[in-house]
Structure 1
């Protein structure tokens, strides 16, 4: 987690350094005129903030809330991508969760600062102050993706309003992810929202020079074959020889997923677990790529849904990790 602490007064710098003592990797920004060797110096607060806003997961401002609102207003996009924003008074009494309380984690970090420095958290999200969990918070705690922010908002409104909302989890109730749901209710309209667990590890192998579009088309085709959503992809994995393969790098970037690189030395230790190819062994020194890469980069607690799909010089393997709430 990358944290930035913003100050514009000398007193705020002193307070910021107290926070940094508890969060050593945080960057503290201060104006050059204060000449602090422990901070990142800035000539212009607004310009520096504009340049660095998207580079951090959490922003802590030690200044007036009004200043913060005006400075970040034109930097905001949507709640699923905006970073957490907190405001602390210079006297270090209160910490306000100002933005991205749920998905960005501002509410949780306010509680962290309470534990570290005794600050009083100011949290205004209705689900939190009423002791009820919001759908986007549930999604975050399950390390999952939401089907729709709007649907999540509608279902959360029902929760806050005290309506009956059922939580259905893949199998700590049944052994598999459900593909159908029967709802028994006398309500004419029932709000639903799906949460996608990020528990699919995708192993990739390909010929040199493959295009991003080719891999994407094959990926979606393979996922559809198993009725799987790309939203549940945790990360991609490939062999070290493909670390610079532009098509794979661009695909991972476009879908917002990491591309993990697995060395051939690691693969050699497990290659006998998988059906391999003498030709591949002769070419790169290991008998298989997509399957061992998926397995080695996973939690190793799950199963393969697709061992190895092949098409036009590409291979895709899908390893499904056990969902955190699924019974063994």
Structure 2
């Protein structure tokens, strides 16, 4: 790794030389060069003879990492015209002149700025400042996985989308050739598996050297909707509530197995129309069955006074299922409609 340390003041230059001396014994760097203004330069530094901006423009693509000991605002304005893409830009880190706070500014994952900031902070007694969401949440980003595997990302946009799933706690499966492995954070929602896709997976990272990989999706019908609604609720309102809840839970409408409701809603016109439109069976649950388990769910005095049970959507979803799954959404309210989603 080639590291450039860039400074603009006498104090920062001294700190840059000190940091070079501390980092050299780690054997992590092929080259460590300290750049400073000509008036502060000596035999331990490289003078920026044509000024700061011109020097940065010339060396930007020559180093794997650039460490600026100065205000981050100056750095941002200077490097902005030089930036190309996160998969080719060098790691950029900054710090104050005392080296108290080492900030990963750019190319935190692919460029290794996060790891570099942490390593430098450890060696000079500073505090690493890392703001990438995956690192803050203790998970791992797709581009970090690529870096660990010394591999290349085919598509930055899809990598960003899958990383968003990881950051939001969704389960993502990592598919590797059988002769490869990668060490992941034990708390990460990324599953490092080579055989079989686990239930509840929202994304897949595939590592392969094939030019084209054909991927298809088979959608199981294992989602049960429990529905409660006010009398005479229009079908459009009920359907809107269902579609909104399914979308929020990242579930395909084709995965609906059936819809369940309470016996007093067996003739609810809007609900029957929705079932017909979706081509799904309406399963009706007797209130006597609901009473036996209603205390397991959020209830309402008003609902109990009206129909004799404290809740509808969650218990009917559970009672009409195989009872060995789990709730993805226990209750979602929408314009007088309650939707519960149970996954078998």
User: Which runs of 5 or more residues in structure 2 are unaligned?
Assistant: 25-30, 182-193, 213-344
Q: What is the deviation of 1:196?
A: 4.3
Out of 57, 61, 75, which is 1:50 matched to? 57
Out of 92, 96, 106, which is 2:99 matched to? 92
- Structure 2 counterparts to residues 1-328 of structure 1, below 5 A: 1-24=1-24, 25-43=31-49, 44-171=51-178, 191-196=203-208, 228-229=210-211
- Aligned position for 2:274: none
2: CA distance, partners of 1:105 / 1:184: 31
What secondary structure sits across from 2:172 in the alignment?
coil
Structure of greater relative contact order (alpha carbons < 8 Å, 6+ residues apart): 1
What secondary structure sits across from 2:175 in the alignment?
coil
Q: What is the deviation of 1:148?
A: 1.2
For residues 239-274 of structure 1, what are the alpha-carbon distances to aligned partners after superposition, in whole Å with 9 as ceiling and x for unaligned?
Answer: xxxxxxxxxxxxxxxxxxxxxxxxxxxxxxxxxxxx
- Aligned position for 2:331: none
Aligned Cα root-mean-square deviation (Å): 2.4
- The normalised TM-score by structure 2 is 0.52
2: CA distance, partners of 1:98 / 1:50: 18
For residues 62-111 of structure 1, what are the alpha-carbon distances to aligned partners after superposition, in whole Å with 9 as ceiling and x for unaligned?
Answer: 00010000000000000000000000100110100000000000000011
Task: Note closer, same or farther for the CA distance 1:46–1:196 as it changes in structure 2 (3 Å cut).
Answer: farther
Aligned residues: 193
Q: What is the deviation of 1:181?
A: 8.6
For residues 142-179 of structure 1, what are the alpha-carbon distances to aligned partners after superposition, in whole Å with 9 as ceiling and x for unaligned?
Answer: 111122111111111001111111222221599xxxxx
Q: What is the deviation of 1:184?
A: 7.2
- Aligned position for 2:270: none
Q: What is the deviation of 1:19?
A: 1.1
> Is contact 1:155–1:191 with CA below 8 Å preserved after alignment?
yes
Q: What is the deviation of 1:186?
A: 7.9
1: CA distance, partners of 2:35 / 2:165: 41
1: CA distance, partners of 2:62 / 2:113: 16
2: CA distance, partners of 1:173 / 1:2: 28
